[in-house]
Amino acid sequence: MSVIHWTKEKKVAVITMDDGENRHNPAFVERMLNVMDEIESDEAISAVVLRGGGGKYWSLGIDIEWITQVLSTGNNQEVRDFLYGLNRLSARILTFPLPVIAALNGHAFGDGAMLALACDFRLMKADKGYFCFPEVDINIPFMPSMLEIIRKVIPPYLMEEMILSGKRMNAFELAQHHIIFKVCADEDELMRESLAYAATFNKARGIMAEHKKRLHKGILELMQNADPSYIEPLILMA
């Protein structure tokens, strides 16, 4: 069961993914979408920080154990529904009317890394955590919109290497390529800097949402027009 909760720090909403590895399954998607609805309904909030609950992990991505078990029962529609749900979550972040800041306080792998890239800004602590796409080693190809989410942040020369090799990158390497904009010494500094940066935003929600919608138009169109041709036959699973 996914454990996700949020608190309010003055005008900043802090979402905490607090379920160990923070694997993505239907419960995770449903709770994240509900939390974002709750945050949007509070007109006093001007920015969002998304963090892990502590320990080694920010998010390790798709719940492989869950998806393998469901596929073994032949319930392919449940997997399809989950994949569409992942797209709804990504689209929600990509068009959210508030800036969403990922405070990477642990490993971000696979769809966990994708979640961080869907966010508008990223900070990461230096003392623990890697960022990578292990899909090449676990036989899961990316959907078209996923590749476009990666492309919005990671430069092409590095994107290809990361996807084809599964290379793990630390905070300093990510900062060198502007994937994150600040390296923090430890978790205390990470949260302090993330909250301070979030507090600099006080933009009108309408223009924020419209900018994000236009910036990410190509991703949203791929979700609608291209991804279903991979999801329906479950080509996502190699």
- What tens digit of pLDDT does each residue of 58-79 get? 999 999 999 999 999 999 999 9
What pLDDT score was predicted for residue 2? Answer: 59
213, part of any domain: no
Query: Is residue 236 over pLDDT 80?
Result: no
Q: Is residue 207 part of a domain?
A: no
Say if CB 50 and CB 103 are below 8 A apart. yes
Question: By percentage, how much of the chain surpasses pLDDT 90?
Answer: 95
Predicted pLDDT of residue 235: 75
235 within some domain: no
- Quote the CA–CA distance of 86 and 91 in Å, as a whole number: 9
Tell me whether residue 209 is in a domain: no
pLDDT given for residue 55 in this prediction: 82
Across the range 37-62, mean pLDDT stands at: 96
Position 123 in a domain: yes
**pLDDT at position 129:** 94
Please state which of the ranges 48-57, 80-89, 211-220 shows the lowest mean pLDDT: 48-57
Q: Is residue 57 included in any domain, yes or no? A: yes
d(CA 142, CA 110): 10
43 domain residue, yes or no: yes
For 156, the 3-state DSSP assignment is helix
Range of the structural domain that residue 175 is part of: 4-198
**In the predicted model, is pLDDT for residue 1 greater than 90?**
no
* Number of domains into which the chain is organized: 1
**Rounded Cα gap, residues 75 and 77, in angstroms:** 6
Beta strands in 72-193 (DSSP E): 100-104, 107-109, 121-125, 131-132, 182-184
Q: Give start and end residues of each alpha helix (H) in 53-143.
A: 64-72, 76-94, 111-118, 135-138
Question: Is there a domain that residue 236 lies in?
Answer: no
Domain CATH code at residue 149: 3.90.226.10
Measured N-to-C along each axis, helices 217-225 and 144-151 cross at an angle, to the nearest 10 degrees, of 170
Q: DSSP character for 141?
A: P
pLDDT given for residue 206 in this prediction: 98
Confidence of residue 127 (pLDDT cuts 50, 70, 90): confident
Q: Is the pLDDT of residue 238 over 60?
A: no
- Distance of alpha carbon 1 from alpha carbon 35, whole angstroms: 15
**pLDDT the model gives residue 128:** 85
